[in-house]
Structure 1
Amino acid sequence: MLPSSFQSARALATTRVLEPPDLADALEILHRDPVANAFVATRVEAVGLDPWRLGGEMWGWYDGDGVLDALCYAGANLVLVNAGPQAVAAFAERARRQGRRCSSIVGPAGSTAAFWALLERSWGPAREVRGHQPLLATSSPSAEIAPDPLVRRVRRGEVEAVMPACVAMFTEEVGVSPLAGDGGLLYQARVAELVTTGRSFARFTEDGQVVFKAEIGAVTEGACQIQGVWVAPEYRGRGLSETGMAAVLEIALREVAPVVSLYVNDFNLRARAAYRRVGFREVGAFMSVLF
């Protein structure tokens, strides 16, 4: 039996899978908050709403006047966009009927928490729930930390050199290896794509070891999002994350987007302090449900 609040909200909600002609309306919603919506916006801006090219469906929620007012990207990740209580309930009902196909739910903390509360009985248990992940952003280069001059874009011929660092970061962050399942083919393709498009950055030692790396994972006209920040264990405690991030931030603001963002686990106090010194400030919070 569904909770009464779910049933009443569902009665008022209308959802459907969006199609290419809905692109302008979808982009209008995504552009309301360029920082929070960077992940979904970068995909939609690049390929539109065709599910095959998008890598998943885009669900739309229409209010009582028939106006599109919320989105839910349903692909390998499930991400809510601009979803109020009625939209959350409608999307949760659609997700419950369809069954879980994603590896994680990620999005603004409030709506994602409400969404998961409605789905946990049918989709749970989750492997891990990270209920509060501060969303940070800045539009200025670091005023306190000098950029590391040795941090640079990873070259196309260095994909294999940076791959072990990427795998180590992913495994530390998510708790499972990205090489599981398909042997890592999709993950390796993603790393290669970031390198090829000039969105992968690293500091190498003279013998080719990666000691710091980060990527710009999402890019829109309004904002970009840094991901995958990692320092080799034997080099931690030397400030490389701060100087490395200052370098990536400087390049991103100069060449990529006017606002640079990232989100971080609230329990990672060392990383949060480093990002704060670089100049990032909290502008919101995400939540992740990992399966």
Structure 2
Amino acid sequence: MTAAQGTALGGRTGAAVLTDADVPAALAVCATDPVGSVLAASRLEQAAATGLRRAGGELWGYAEDDGLRGICWVGANLVPVLVPHDDAGAARALDAFAELGRLRGRRCSSIVGPADAVLGLWSRLRGSWPVEREVRASQPSMVIDHEPAVAPDPAVRRSVPEEYDAVLPACVRMFTEEVGYSPASGPGGPYEQRVRLLIEQGRSFVRVEAGGGRWRRPRVVFKAEVPAVAGGVAQVQGVWVDPERRGERLSERGMAAVVQTARAELAPTVSLYVNGYNTRAVRAYRAVGFRQVGEYATVLF
């Protein structure tokens, strides 16, 4: 444990807000579970280069005598990551994070990450934070670290900035279907900026078809993003197929194309998490070659 951690974590909560000096130790915690921690690790890798403030979040830590035993990345999402250890140690860490969370209040729109940590933390915070809108307690965490088992769709490729006006509506439709409300807030809104940034970073993948019939302009019929890359893992999110084109295996072949490019250019292991009740999606990902390695959970506010 660093001197900074020792000072910060010696307070009455047992957990504390950490500083830039603690980012390497936090990344070491993430390295104990690269797939489960990729959401936090991707932001911490940015913080290692630019500082926590510019990375857009806050870092909480919990330490015991043998070092840092857990962290939470707190930004738009709160992502808890615990070093694998005994149940009593995990309970102590979650107790400490819950106390710190009660003191600082809710700033995130969700708690997301490995299910045991997310659900354990929320069980301690419930009643202190505003009532949750939804709890998704069972989200299989899946990975593929080999070539896809189906032929990639050759029409799926990275989107380009000139296609933003076609990509954004598809992203908004996906989010609205998945979460239940529109994320759109105007041309310069945070969601719109996120879509632009992913396109600029080469992390947005689409299949675009030419306009025809009632479609006057080209439209996105498949899309996916890879917003989190860290520790040798690239996490796919936002997979969507136009409802009019579902049932044509666009998701399987589209995901195969995303996996092929992501493994070649971003990280050797590609991961995702999916709602357990979405059995159709789970079957599609298994057909591509994904296998379940754990479970995520999400608490939505």
Distance in 2 of aligned mates of 1:41 and 1:154: 25
Distance in 1 of aligned mates of 2:106 and 2:77: 10
2:53 alignment counterpart: 52
2:74 alignment counterpart: 74
Cα distance, 1:253 vs structure 2: 0.8
SS in 1 for 2:240: strand
Is the CA contact (8 Å cut-off) linking 1:136 and 1:282 kept in structure 2? yes
1:159 and 2:164 correspond: yes
1:195 and 2:205 correspond: no
2:180 alignment counterpart: 175
Is the CA contact (8 Å cut-off) linking 1:12 and 1:86 kept in structure 2? no
Letter in 2 for 1:33: D
1:126 alignment counterpart: 132
Distance in 1 of aligned mates of 2:72 and 2:120: 14
The alignment-based identity, stated in percent, is: 50
Distance in 2 of aligned mates of 1:184 and 1:228: 20
2:120 alignment counterpart: 114
Cα distance, 1:12 vs structure 2: 9.2
Distance in 2 of aligned mates of 1:250 and 1:139: 10
- Select which of 140, 143, 163 maps to 2:146: 140
SS in 2 for 1:123: coil
Distance in 2 of aligned mates of 1:269 and 1:104: 23
Instruction: Indicate the larger mover: 232-241 or 93-102.
Output: 93-102
Cα distance, 1:14 vs structure 2: 2.2
SS in 2 for 1:266: coil
Q: How does 1:82-121 map to 2 (within 5 A)?
A: 82=82, 84-121=90-127
Distance in 2 of aligned mates of 1:12 and 1:222: 36
Distance in 1 of aligned mates of 2:34 and 2:66: 24
Distance in 1 of aligned mates of 2:125 and 2:231: 34
1:252 alignment counterpart: 262
SS in 2 for 1:122: coil
Letter in 2 for 1:264: V
2:87 alignment counterpart: none
Deviation readout 1:161-185 (Å, 9 max, x if unpaired) = 11000000011111111115x6771
Instruction: Indicate the larger mover: 16-25 or 164-173.
Output: 16-25
| TM-score of the pair, normalised by structure 1 | 0.92
Deviation readout 1:182-226 (Å, 9 max, x if unpaired) = 677101110111000111000011221100000111012411100
Is the CA contact (8 Å cut-off) linking 2:135 and 2:299 kept in structure 1? yes
Distance in 1 of aligned mates of 2:91 and 2:188: 37
Distance in 2 of aligned mates of 1:274 and 1:99: 39
Is the CA contact (8 Å cut-off) linking 1:214 and 1:226 kept in structure 2? yes
Is the CA contact (8 Å cut-off) linking 2:23 and 2:47 kept in structure 1? no
- Select which of 284, 287, 290 maps to 1:280: 290
| TM-score of the pair, normalised by structure 2 | 0.89
Where structure 2 has 5 or more consecutive residues not aligned to the other structure, the ranges are: 1-10, 84-89, 212-217
Letter in 1 for 2:35: V
2:232 alignment counterpart: 222
Letter in 1 for 2:121: F
Where structure 1 has 5 or more consecutive residues not aligned to the other structure, the ranges are: 1-10
- Select which of 275, 292, 300 maps to 1:290: 300
Letter in 2 for 1:289: V
Cα distance, 1:101 vs structure 2: 1.2
Cα distance, 1:47 vs structure 2: 2.5
Letter in 1 for 2:69: D
